[in-house]
Each structure stands twice: as C-alpha cells, then as structure tokens.
Amino acid sequence: MQCWGNYGGLEEPKVPITPENSAIHGITNDMVKGQRFDEAALKALCSEAALFVAHNAAFDKPFMLRRFPWLEKSIWACTFRELPWTQENYSGRKLEYLLSDCGYFHGAHRAVEDCNALVHVLAQPLKTSQRMPFQVLFDSANESIYQIAALKAPFEKKDFLKSKGFRWNADDRVWEFEAVGFSEGKEVIEWLRGQVYCTTGKIMLGFRIQAGVDRYSGTALKQQFKEV
C-alpha cells in the first residue's frame, strides 16, 4: 500500500517562541499551547519513503532525529548541497532564488509551504543539462560525503580556502570542506595540493566519511589522517 499526501502540525516547544521568530513564521505561543504532533500520521507518510529530501539536510536531519528517533535508518539527500545549481546557471541556491528562476514567487516560511515550494523546483528539468533533479538526488544519495580537513594550511591561504567553500572549524582549528562523492573529493584534494600547499608531492589531510544512514546525521565521526 502506498501512502501519499502531506502532513503539517504544531507542537508546544519546551521554551517559549520569541517575538523575533514569530515575526518570521507567524507562529505564536498561543497557537502551539497544548499542541502535539500526530506521530501516527507522520509515520504513515514516512514508512514507504525511499529517500528523504531537505534543502538543508545537515540542519533538518539531526533536528528530526532528536524528535523522531525512529527515523534513524533514513537516508537523506540535500537539495542545497547536492544539486549543481551554479553549474546549471541558477541565480542562487536559496529557495527564493530557485523559485524565481522557475517563474514562481514564494513568501512563506512555514514547513508545508516550503516543502511545496521545493517540490515545484524539483519538478522542473535543470536549466542547462535538462536532467531531472530527483534523478540527480537519487544518484547522489548513493555517494559518500567526504569531510576533508586541510591540516596545517598556510595562514595566508585562508581567504583562498574560504572562496573555494572551505569552512573554519573553530574547535579543531582547521579549514574543512564537505565533498559529495569520490570525484568531487579527488578534485578538492588536487586543488589543495596545487593551490594551497603548492607541491606536486603527497600531502597529509584529515578525513571523516559519511555514507548511507550516517549522511547528514550530525553524528560525531572519528577523523582519519592520510597521506594522499
């Protein structure tokens, strides 16, 4: 039996909603008072899903797992990270920009409305390649995510690393990049070798690898160190 449809609900949080947040999504403390999510309805929708999709899976999946731990075996793909919006000549990666490029307007900031808006974008062929976004996501979901740490990168290269998409990990004091799939990981390593470390020899990097249900789970993975 296949289950189709959507679900939107409210639940009273442990801490009050601030006026600043209410101004964004329109949800007030009075609206959520005494409310609980209908987990049975949500489970019915999720039970036959082959892939979970979010526009910021690194945020959404850990958030969902904390509230609904029965989703621990779910596999997720990220439309913000895993679809080649720049290469496909879109004006930006934010949902509002993507909708505008597809001829739609979106002014809402509620879960169901955001999901419906994203579905509209994913239903359109990509602008340049004409590939269907869902097919790209299904292929990408089978790839591992490689978190590459540029160990002992020269300080003067920090702006260069940032422009490439590296982010500063303040806890480990290292620049990191998340590559989806072996091909992107290899390209980033070669870029580091030539543009950051300025060598033709081997370089020592740190790696954390997420695959399958570990993708975007927020689980702390042990870093591996390897000369490549």
What are the CB-based long-range contacts (under 8 Å, 24+) for 97-104? 101/127
Q: What is the pLDDT of residue 176?
A: 96
d(C-alpha 15, C-alpha 1), whole Å: 39
Phi then psi for residue 200, to 5 deg, are -105, -5
User: Each residue of 135-190: pLDDT tens digit?
Assistant: 999 999 999 999 999 999 999 999 999 999 999 999 999 999 999 999 999 999 99
d(C-alpha 24, C-alpha 46), whole Å: 27
Pair type for strands 76-78 and 52-54: parallel
User: Each residue of 49-107: pLDDT tens digit?
Assistant: 999 999 999 999 999 999 999 999 999 999 999 999 999 999 999 998 999 998 887 76
d(C-alpha 175, C-alpha 166), whole Å: 6
d(C-alpha 149, C-alpha 133), whole Å: 29
Sole residue written with tokens 């597809």: 102
Q: What is the pLDDT of residue 108?
A: 64
User: Each residue of 2-28: pLDDT tens digit?
Assistant: 456 788 899 999 999 999 988 888 899
pTM of the model: 0.83
Going from the N-terminus, what domains does the chain have, and what CATH number goes with each? 19-140 (no CATH), 144-227 (3.30.70)
